[in-house]
Amino acid sequence: MTLDPALFELVAENRLVQKNYSLKQGWNEVMQVVLDISVCEFYQHFIAQKATFSLVHLEQILGHTNVKNTPWKKNIMVINSIVPVSGVPFISQTNCIKTV
């Protein structure tokens, strides 16, 4: 397993991550939830273009700014946002492009 150096830093600095992640074994299961919704309802709430809790909303909750996305086309959506970074000299944010 190849580990990103940023993950080492995150594990060293964050107690919550320390409780849920081991450098040797990976992530620990924190919780398992059974959602009482159908596949169609899940799609409408989380995946659809106008979803109530879409991937774009998640980006905003994570503190990303200037979040823009393309409409779903051939099962692909592109999300472009500005993401805060730390530990990198001379910059405090960077552009992030996600293809989902």
Q: How would you classify the pairing of strands 65-69 and 26-27? A: unpaired
Q: Which residues does the chain have with pLDDT short of 70? A: 1-8, 10, 16-17, 23
Instruction: Please check whether residues 50 and 61 belong to one and the same domain.
Output: yes
Containing structural domain, residue 49? 34-100
**What is residue 41's predicted lDDT score, i.e. its pLDDT?**
92
Task: Mark whether 47 and 94 lie in a shared domain.
Answer: yes
One domain for residues 14 and 24 = yes
Position 67 scores a pLDDT of 92
Q: What pLDDT is attached to residue 3?
A: 56
Query: Same domain, yes or no, for 39 and 5?
Result: no
- Bridge partners (DSSP) listed for residue 99: 78
